[in-house]
Structure 1
Amino acid sequence: MADAIDLSDFQRRMDGAITAFKSDLASLRTGRASANLLDPITVEAYGSQMPLNQVANVTVPEARMIAVNVWDKTMVGKVDKAIRESNLGFNPIVDGQTLRIPLPELNEQRRKELVKIAHDYAEKARVAVRHVRRDGMDAVKKAEKASEISQDDGRTLSERVQKMTDDTIGRIDELVAEKEQEIMQV
């Protein structure tokens, strides 16, 4: 009778929180250039906000340089402005239709700020997982109250939801620890 509640949906939602968290971590700079650093940037293009990768090609020609090749000449100024106003600390150099973004060395203070941001991202991911847990526990209680499942099945399902939560939060903690180590590496 425990089939009344499908735990795979809750697992999928927790996995979604992990995926979003990984995406957030990828946008943090670790001293090496990565095309993912520009993923959060949107550009005012053709009357709407568009992701940078839909108006330009982002490449990494060197370890400390990102190149953004804008497809439409008229968009170069808007892409430059979007990158400068992104609060990522980038200062692009315009070279025709290409913007070159040199990545300066990270000082210790900036590294600590990035670690703090990574921990903020981790906390947001944990909160999202806890919301999924709450929804799972509510579903179990509701099914128990409606006599769709027994109390024993309810307890078993609650324990499984809690284990999924613990495993997912453990994975988030591992990911943030790896990212912290990567950021602090000189």
Structure 2
Amino acid sequence: MKNKNKNKNKNKNKDKNKDKINLNYFFEKINKKLNNLLIQTKIDFSKIKINQININILYNISININSKLEKLKNIANIFLINPQTIKIIAHEKKNLLKIEKTIKNSNLDLNPFITNNYIKILTPKLTEEKRKKIIKIIKKKSENIKISIRNIRRIFLNKLKKKIPSKDEEKNIQNKIQKITNNYIIKIKELTKQKEIEILKI
């Protein structure tokens, strides 16, 4: 009888340990999922270059050279000197004026000028209206991410409810998951605030 009781107790302890391992697994999983979301948010926010010219928009501009349309990338070398400056060196200097005029007349809102036998383009000034639009986009992204965090919390809570033996433990686990998600929401808010400050400083 004693052996049977010992075996029963061992089995109970095993079951308890299984529950603990499962809970640890769930906590690790929710942390990993939320951390991946945070990393992706950082990547997405870093892609919002406020004061940087996109050099790719110039590659396929067509320039009329001797009654034939040529792609800019085929008749000139285009360099990004810094995030605010593009330098264009024509293969033939006689084409400089044509290149400058074509870029000015394009709908790219760029103002090229010739200096020292090459063309220079500076970033257009960021207007107040443009800043507000960008901040609005960032805030919208931020709100969507916070909704995703809350959805992840809800999904994990629903999964865990089936594995929680008591109401007290359920409440305790809910509080733990709430703390985890709150922490990530705070981090998203901080990222959003940092990006807003960056936009306003430019």
Q: The TM-score by the shorter chain falls in which range?
A: 0.5 to 0.7
Q: Paired residues, what number?
A: 137
In the other structure, the counterpart of 1:107 is 127
In the other structure, the counterpart of 2:21 is 3
Match of 1:121, as an amino acid? K
After the TM superposition, list the runs of 4 or more consecutive aligned residues in structure 1 that deviate by more than 6 angstroms.
none
SS at match of 1:113: helix
Change over 3 Å in CA distance of 1:66–1:120 after alignment to 2: farther
Displacement of 1:64: 0.2
Instruction: Give ranges in structure 2 of 5+ residues lacking alignment.
Output: 1-18, 56-78, 88-107, 113-119
Q: Choose which of 150, 153, 157 in structure 2 pairs with 1:130.
A: 150
What TM-score, normalized to structure 1? 0.61
Determine the C-alpha separation between the residues in 2 that align with 1:166 and 1:61. 42
Greater relative contact order structure (CA < 8 Å, 6+ sep):
1
Q: Choose which of 179, 183, 187 in structure 2 pairs with 1:163.
A: 179
Task: Specify which structure has the higher proportion of helix.
Answer: 2
Instruction: Give ranges in structure 1 of 5+ residues lacking alignment.
Output: 39-58, 68-88, 94-99
For the aligned residues, what is the CA RMSD?
A: 3.4
Work out which of the two has the higher radius of gyration on C-alpha atoms and give 1 or 2.
2
1:50-129 equivalences in 2 (<5 Å): 60-65=80-85, 102-129=122-149
Determine the C-alpha separation between the residues in 2 that align with 1:90 and 1:154. 59
Displacement of 1:60: 4.6
Residues 87-128 of structure 1 deviation map (CA, whole Å, 9 limit, x = unaligned): xx786x9xxxxxx98532211000010100110110121111
Displacement of 1:63: 3.6
Determine the C-alpha separation between the residues in 1 that align with 2:33 and 2:40. 11
Residues 41-100 of structure 1 deviation map (CA, whole Å, 9 limit, x = unaligned): xxxxxxxxxxxxxxxxxx852240368xxxxxxxxxxxxxxxxxxxxx786x9xxxxxx9
Aligned-pair identity (%): 23
